[in-house]
Amino acid sequence: MFKYLSKDAPASLVVFLVALPLCLGIALASGAEPIAGLIAGIIGGIVVGFISGSQIGVSGPAAGLAVIVLNGIQSMPSYQVFLLAVVIGGLIQLLLGAIKAGIIGFYFPSSVIQGMLSAIGLIIILKQIPHAVGYDAEPEGSLEFATDATHNTFSDLSFMLDNVQPVAIAIAAIGLLVLILWEQPFMKRMSWTQYLPASLVAVVSGIGIHLLTQNGSVGLTQDHLVQIPLLDEGWRSVIIFPDFTAWNRSDVWILGLTIAIVASLETLLCVEATDKLDPEKRVTPTNRELIAQGSGNVLSGLVGGLPITQVIVRSSANIQSGGKTKVSAILHGFLLLGTVFLIPDILNLIPLSSLAAILLVVGYKLAKPAQFKLIAKQGVRQFLPFVITVLAIMMTDLLVGIGIGMVSAILVILYDHFHKPIIDFEIDDAKKTCIIHLGEDVTFMHKVGIRKLLGSIPRDYSVVIEANRTVRMDIDVRIIIQEWLARAKENGWNWSFENGEDDLSRSKPLANFAEKLQAE
């Protein structure tokens, strides 16, 4: 388990530095206390990390659930009742894992998943630029396009120009310089850089600049720093238990079901994305992942935390920092637990602009221009859903954008079926023959294309419908062929329907259909 500790430990530090402000920011965006986000981050790292089969995925509170959580907290009689809904959501996820519902994740097209990754990268860049210059109006962790009626991702880029902090810019610039420098080949050849992560150097340099300038007129205020709640009375003062007396409320069960479905979808999407980013191309067992997430949500709800999912920002930071096994995710959970409890005063010295520098690099690696060029070379069928997914996620939110991307991918498939309805067909103008090769599975989506093809065949051509490979044919397609053959018979066309003996034995409905056609 600790075979790659030399790589997992530095990666865990990077994930910790990324996760810390995200846990706090998502809690604020969700209308909960900051400690609720930290509890979810700790459980997501330690508990989910141990149970999960993912070697590089990292779990914690997710921005995609922020709106649901905010509405849930506001609609429930108390936060304790909301926590009961989180527990119920976790139990439903355990059930989904037990009935093997994780297979849903395999049905998302690669173009949509790649679009999700690139969109998240671009959103991270756009959201972190204001933090890098000292405009910290929006909490860390927000991925939504519009924050209110007057603020959105692009408007904040203009608002920040009136709120520039020179010290924040200097901290972010030095942080970026360190992060880029550490990526250079000559630095990688120096053995000591393996034990001194660039992110740690960037953060320490940011703290140093802040301490040197804090007494001046341009120094950073507390609003521009990480703000960890002080736990002077220990953890027992912040742990909140759910109100089990509300178990019979229908709105609690509806909220629990909503949390379970959305958290499961976001997790499965993240699993697909992180598996694509994994240099070793390992495949995460999705059913086990649902069980891990369900276990984490049950425990998080029991002690006052927010709902948990696997999260793409932290997972990609883990991969890009060299994390090899689940040890990095688990260690990041222990780092959250230990540092928040033991040294919150030191953490509260970290400038948000330092963390913005780290996230800017993460965002760039997710949305490299080379990735857009690579997918463009794969053709319109891949590039169109990819671009639509990127734009949809950037202009709405993660799940809505993924839904729009899926619809675009399905429309591309339907378009292909219309213009290329059958696996193959041959037209010999010299012999005046047309051979139509039906595929193994002929569905209703082939209707329009097959009708168009049959209607385009000249009347004086001989037609052969070859179905040796066909195992299943929808009734819609059968009707189209029957109607066409009836007209062909009336017009005296020469046609035949060929089907191999083996295929007939495997498909009785198709055999009966072929016999009926031959009888006619």
Out of 380, 407, 440, a domain closes at 380
| Alpha-carbon distance values, 280 to 51, 332, 369 (Å) | 20, 21, 23
- Please list, residue by residue across 462-488, b when 16 or more beta carbons sit within 10 angstroms of its beta carbon and e when fewer do: ebbbbbeebeebeeebbebbeebbeeb
**Which residue stretches of the chain have pLDDT < 70?**
1, 139-143, 146-151, 231-237, 417-424, 491-520
Residue 463 sits in a domain whose CATH number is 3.30.750.24
- In a domain? residue 396: no
Indicate whether 201 and 344 sit together in one domain: yes
| Other CB atoms within 10 A of residue 441 CB | 12
Indicate whether 200 and 297 sit together in one domain: yes
8: left (phi over 0), alpha (psi -120 to 50) or beta: alpha
The structure's pTM equals 0.77
Indicate whether 460 and 319 sit together in one domain: no
- In a domain? residue 112: yes
- In a domain? residue 37: yes
**Per-residue model confidence as pLDDT tens digits over 174-205:** 999 999 998 888 887 887 877 788 888 999 99
Rg over alpha carbons for the chain, rounded to the nearest Å, is 28
Q: Could you give the CA distance from residue 55 to residue 74 in angstroms, rounded to a whole number?
A: 36
Among 95, 88, 93, 92, smallest CA distance to 242 is for 88
pLDDT score, position 97 = 95
Mind giving me the DSSP string for 307-323?
A: P-EE-HHHHHHHHHTT-
pLDDT score, position 504 = 30
Indicate whether 334 and 189 sit together in one domain: yes
Q: Could you give the CA distance from residue 499 to residue 512 in angstroms, rounded to a whole number?
A: 11
| Long-range contacts (CB closer than 8 Å, 24 or more residues apart) made by 407-412 | 408/384, 409/109, 409/111, 409/112, 409/385, 412/380, 412/381, 412/384, 412/385
Tallying the residues shown for the chain, one arrives at 520
- In a domain? residue 390: no
- In a domain? residue 148: yes
**Per-residue model confidence as pLDDT tens digits over 434-492:** 888 777 777 777 777 777 777 777 777 777 777 777 777 878 788 888 787 777 777 66
**Per-residue model confidence as pLDDT tens digits over 133-181:** 988 877 666 667 766 656 677 777 888 888 889 999 999 999 999 999 9
- In a domain? residue 217: yes
Out of 352, 380, 408, a domain closes at 380
pLDDT score, position 503 = 36
Indicate whether 374 and 447 sit together in one domain: no
Indicate whether 9 and 151 sit together in one domain: yes
For β-strands 433-437 and 424-428, DSSP reports them as antiparallel
Domain count, the chain: 2
Range of the domain at 339: 5-380
Assess contact for 25 and 142: CB atoms under 8 A: yes
Among 504, 422, 501, smallest CA distance to 463 is for 422
Indicate whether 313 and 260 sit together in one domain: yes
**Per-residue model confidence as pLDDT tens digits over 240-257:** 999 999 999 999 999 999
Token pair for 146: 């519009």
Indicate whether 472 and 374 sit together in one domain: no
| Other CB atoms within 10 A of residue 130 CB | 25
Indicate whether 208 and 101 sit together in one domain: yes
- In a domain? residue 361: yes
148 three-state secondary structure: coil
Mind giving me the DSSP string for 71-119?
A: HHHHHSSSHHHHHHHHHHHHHHHHHHHHTTGGGGGGGS-HHHHHHHHHH
- In a domain? residue 413: no
Indicate whether 474 and 353 sit together in one domain: no
